Each structure stands twice: as structure tokens, then as C-alpha cells.
Structure 1
Amino acid sequence: MTVSREQLGGSMVALVTPMHADGSVDWQSLERLVNWHVEQGTHGIVAVGTTGESATLGFREHDEVIERTVEIVDRRVPVIAGTGGNATDEAIRLTRHAQRVGADASLLVCPYYNKPSQEGLYRHFHAIAMAVDIPQILYNVPSRTGVDMLPETVARLAEIDNIVALKEAKGSIERIHDLIEHVGDGMDIYSGDDGTAMESMLVGGKGNISVVANVVPNLMSRMCDAAVRGERETAERLDAEMHGLHSALFLEANPIPVKWALQEMGWIEPGIRLPLTPLADHFHSHVREALQGCGLFDNDAR
């Protein structure tokens, strides 16, 4: 394994893939964003997760974003490569490439649209783990995939050595409790839902793979540190500062609002790929107010 479980966790940003207005990848902005996150204390970078528009990047682009992110990070923090897919062979191919170019771990979303059974989910992730020995983080997000990987299935997968964690985005603290009870020390549980991330960590979760961290990396990092340590008062104070972002950045499908926010902050150009479209005009004031509530606007976050 490239990294241990202990080296993963905390605030892991689900990084957007910056694009020019014509939709092509903006490599210069990618470098600036990655360096900013490392400087601001982000504990790990997720490259080409679903927030990074993995569904609309071609294989070559997908591979290159991961490779360049690894190069820019230069071992300063772990790089977690988004390598999931709804075809098992495709996910294996992406995961092999990520390992080859030096990613520290992979993030594998549950297969979407085809709605596999619990046995199908188990066999899918088992096949990837057997094919590629990189540390693997599974990702359950029923609202986007149409399938919910149940704690019993997760517990079976926790017995596989290189499956080290689960990103759980159901948004339920009860589910987090249930998962921790089922997996014991077999794997770590991360939140994939910013609105419930603090409570998830206070009850035993080990980190947050975050959309909100894209715009407030230092604040999210400090909140995660406090929550993982069980420091409720500090975690609640820091989380309250991000309260507006937890809702505003999900007014439309992720990553539409967060890319608009980063554009407003001066970090990226207004590039996003169809079928996603730019943030609707009537949401602009809501997102802007949430940014202002965190003391962020234009270039102030730099």
C-alpha cells in the first residue's frame, strides 16, 4: 500500500476540475487550486471524483487530471483518484492507471443507473480490489446512483485488506452509527455530506470528503480536526461559520454551484460541461450571500 489508513482522513476536498469557457480543462487553474489547498491545510485531494465531473471527462482527460494532480501535489498530501464507474472493467482500468501514475488511493462510487443488487455491489468492489492493490475508498451516494449499499454489504467488503474506507453520503447520522457498528475496525467511515459531516465525525467518523472545502479549505480542515478529536464546542463553532454554504452549494446539482462560487472568488473560469449548465441567475444572490457570510468574495479567499 502507498499510504496507511492513518495517513488518510480529515478534510479531503472533492476537487472541481477547472475548465475554460469552451469546456477544455484549465491546467493552470488546476495547479493553482491544488497548491492553495495544500497551503490551506487540506488533508487530501480527491482528483476527478464525481464533483470533478468524472462522468463527462474522456478516458485520456481523466487519466491526465489524476497524473497532473499527483505531480503538483508532489507527496505533500495524499492524492485520492476518482476511478469509479458503472462497468467493473472500466473501473479496474481507471484504478490501474491511477496506481501507475502514483495516486495514493482510489475513490470508487457505486455503479450508477444499472442498479446492481447487494451481491452485485459486493462482487463489483471485490473484483476491483483483487485486480489493483492500491488502497480503495468506496462511495455510497444513493441520491445520485439509484442504489444504496447497505451496512451488511459494507461489512463484507471491510474484510478485504485494501478496501480501507467508505465515503457515506446518505446524509443520515443513524446510518453512520450503523456502519461503524457493522465494520468495527475493519475500515474507516468518512462523511460525504457536508451538512452532517461534523456530527458524523463526532460519533466516530474519520473524515469528510467535501464539496464545501473547495471554497473554505482552511475552515473545513480546522473543523474536521476538531470533530475527529471529539472537541464538540470548537467543531460546532467552526461548522456554524459554514452553515450557509452547506445549503447554498447544493441549490442545483453539484458541482454547478461550487464552480460558480470559485468563479466569483477568482479561482477558475466559467467552464462546465454539458449536460451541466452554469448556475441559474436566480441562485446567484443566494450563493454570493453564503460566500459573504464566510468572509469570502472576489479574491478575498486568496
Structure 2
Amino acid sequence: MSTRVTPVVIEGIVPVMLTPFDASGAIDYRGVERLIEWYLQHGCDALFAVCQSSEMQFLSLAERTELARFVVDIVGGRVPVVASGHISDDLDAQVQELQAMAATGADALVLVTNHLDPHNLGTETLLANLDYLLQRLPMGTPLGLYECPAPYRRLLSDEELQACIATGRFIMLKDVSCDLAVVKRRVALAEGSALRVLNANAAIAWDAMRAGSAGFNGVFTNVHPDLYKWLRLQSHVAPALAEELATFLVLAAVTEGMGYPALAKLYHQRIGTFASIQCRAIDYDVHERYWALEAVLDKVVAGTEHFRARIKALQGQHR
């Protein structure tokens, strides 16, 4: 049965928010506030709080809900805020955590697909668990779907996605297929519905946006969201520059394997957003493991500023 919810549109450049921690390991809320303002200053269209990049698997339920509520309060309606915090396999625990997150005031509540089918049993299990949750979540709360890669990547089948769309309650899918053909097919399936498909893979980011993906929701929105936004909205102005930028963004994102999210926190420590690069998800010294980490980040930063300067010059020519 389809039940329509209050229209909320999640599209454009949507960062997966980081969580800064202080030296004691507690959430650094001053750092969170500075991060929010940085996102907004760089043109982000919505924020995804309490997700894997936020280290949600390492936050207590109280921390997850407090963090989401804080983000909603600081944003103050300037852009939509979606939040997940969906980390449990037990259905009753899921109901508890999702109801608590729904009460934070976030514009949408994002469900993680692998927790809808914890043992990868298939469509029947996923849809039965989804129905159980939908009956217990606030009817007026818009919902999202997130193919989070941890603890395992549970991609939705076309049948499952269609079933979710048919409920009328889902407004976004964070697509982690990393497959342009799949993105195109999902965009077609969602046509005419409230659901927007947001690709999260940098390797296909520009191609996916040109193919109808409603935006980008990948981890390097934590370094240069404005470059992705220019590519989405203004690439037609300078096609050759867009080709160069798209290639740079792909290569920069390859460094995700070098200790992310500490890598992104190191960037934000450099620019004054964070006081520390401390993580709960990482229990090793990233500099010791990745010997050239600072040098690699230097190049990513240099490339980012290079393209920002070229875009600024281009915009000056068109005034």
C-alpha cells in the first residue's frame, strides 16, 4: 500500500559528514559546527549526518541521536539534513534506534540495506524486514536507502527498489553499485517518483550525473564539494576543463584507501576545521602505515586549488 509523505527533495552535492573527536575521544561539537559551515560555504545542497563516514558504527545510540539533533539545529533549515544511525541487525533494536533518530528533526531517515537483510538471505527476507520497520516508523517521516559497504555491501535488486518506490515513502537512494549501467537503470525505475538516485562512486560521478543521477554523495565531498557542484551544474560552459577536472576528481578519490576518514580529517585539521584527526574507526597511526600520506595530500590540495582558481577565472570572464 502506498502512503505519500511530505515532499522533501534530496539532490545535488550531499556530503557524508565526518565526526571530529577531541583528545579524550568525545565528539568535538565545535568542530562539527565549523564543518557544517564549511560545507555550506562550499555550496553543498544537503547534508548526510550519522553515516559510515561519521563512524556511526562506533557511536552509542545516545551519541548518534545527539549528533543528528545538533546538526539539524546548527543547519537551521538552510539545507535539508538526512541521518541514518542504522547499525543493528536485531529488528527490535533497529526499531529503537530508528525511532530515536526520527525524533531528532532530520528531514529524512536513511535505512541501511544490509541491516534489512543481515545474512544476505534474499528478497523475501529484505522486504519482510522492511515491512516490519515501516509499520513502526513515523508515517510522516521521509525515508532513504543506503547501500552501506559495512558490514557487507547489500545492493538492491530492481524488484526490491521498485517495491520501496511503490510505498511512496522513499525519497533518496545512496547508490553504491559503482556501475554506471546500474545507475542508469535505477534512474529509469525511479522516474516519476519522489525517489532520487545519488551516486556515491567518484569514478563514475560525472558520467552518472550526466545520465540522470540526482547528484553526488561520495566521500570526497569532504575535500572539494564545490568542484563536484561545478561539474554538475556548469560543465557545459567549458567542456575541456570539465574533462580535466573529472579526471582529477577520480584520481584524487583513489586516495580514500589511505586511511579515510583520518585522511579527510587531516585535510580539515590543515584548514582549521578540526583540532584533531582522531578516529574511532581507525586503530592505527595513518602516517606510519602510509609513509607518503602528507605528500599525497599536498598534491590533492594543490590540484583542488588549481581547479578552483581556473573555475574562478572562467566565471570572471562570463560576468
Task: State the TM-score, normalized to the length of structure 1.
Answer: 0.86
Report the Cα distance in structure 2 between the residues aligned to 1:144 and 1:283, rounded to whole angstroms. 29
Asked if 1 retains the 8 angstrom alpha-carbon contact of 2:5 and 2:169, the reply is: no
The equivalent position to 2:125 in structure 1, one of 104, 120, 128, is: 120
Aligned to 2:96: 93
Q: Secondary structure at the match of 1:294?
A: helix
The equivalent position to 2:263 in structure 1, one of 243, 253, 257, is: 257
Q: Secondary structure at the match of 1:158?
A: helix
Instruction: Answer with 179-188 or 68-77: which moved more.
Output: 179-188
The equivalent position to 1:294 in structure 2, one of 282, 288, 304, is: 304
Report the Cα distance in structure 1 between the residues aligned to 2:23 and 2:56, rounded to whole angstroms. 18
Asked if 2 retains the 8 angstrom alpha-carbon contact of 1:167 and 1:192, the reply is: yes
Gaps of 5+ in 2: 307-319
Aligned to 1:300: none
Asked if 1 retains the 8 angstrom alpha-carbon contact of 2:55 and 2:281, the reply is: no
Report the AA paired with residue 181 of structure 1: A
Report the AA paired with residue 33 of structure 2: E
Aligned to 1:171: 178
CA offset at residue 139 of structure 1?
1.1
Q: Note the aligned Cα RMSD (angstroms).
A: 2.6
Asked if 1 retains the 8 angstrom alpha-carbon contact of 2:46 and 2:79, the reply is: yes
> Which runs of structure 2 are paired with 1:1-302 in the superposition (5 Å)?
4-5=7-8, 7-85=9-87, 86-111=89-114, 114-130=119-135, 131-133=137-139, 134-142=141-149, 145-186=152-193, 187-226=195-234, 233=239, 235-252=242-259, 254-268=260-274, 269-274=276-281, 276-279=283-286, 280-284=289-293, 285-295=295-305
Pair 1:28–1:42, CA change in 2 (3 A) = same
Aligned to 2:316: none
Report the Cα distance in structure 2 between the residues aligned to 1:116 and 1:282, rounded to whole angstroms. 41
Aligned length: 292
CA offset at residue 83 of structure 1?
3.1
Asked if 2 retains the 8 angstrom alpha-carbon contact of 1:256 and 1:276, the reply is: no
Gaps of 5+ in 1: 297-302
Pair 1:276–1:159, CA change in 2 (3 A) = farther
Asked if 2 retains the 8 angstrom alpha-carbon contact of 1:48 and 1:81, the reply is: yes
CA offset at residue 40 of structure 1?
1.8
Q: Which has the larger radius of gyration?
A: 2
CA offset at residue 211 of structure 1?
1.1
Q: Secondary structure at the match of 2:257?
A: coil
Q: Secondary structure at the match of 2:110?
A: strand
Report the Cα distance in structure 2 between the residues aligned to 1:188 and 1:250, rounded to whole angstroms. 28
Report the Cα distance in structure 2 between the residues aligned to 1:194 and 1:165, rounded to whole angstroms. 18
CA offset at residue 2 of structure 1?
8.0
Asked if 1 retains the 8 angstrom alpha-carbon contact of 2:202 and 2:249, the reply is: no
CA deviations on 1:203-255 (whole Å, 9 max, x unpaired) are 1111211211111132223223347xx87937545434423321112334x42
Asked if 2 retains the 8 angstrom alpha-carbon contact of 1:17 and 1:52, the reply is: yes
Asked if 1 retains the 8 angstrom alpha-carbon contact of 2:174 and 2:200, the reply is: yes
Asked if 2 retains the 8 angstrom alpha-carbon contact of 1:166 and 1:188, the reply is: yes
Q: Secondary structure at the match of 1:15?
A: coil
CA offset at residue 188 of structure 1?
1.8
Pair 1:289–1:70, CA change in 2 (3 A) = same
Asked if 1 retains the 8 angstrom alpha-carbon contact of 2:145 and 2:173, the reply is: yes
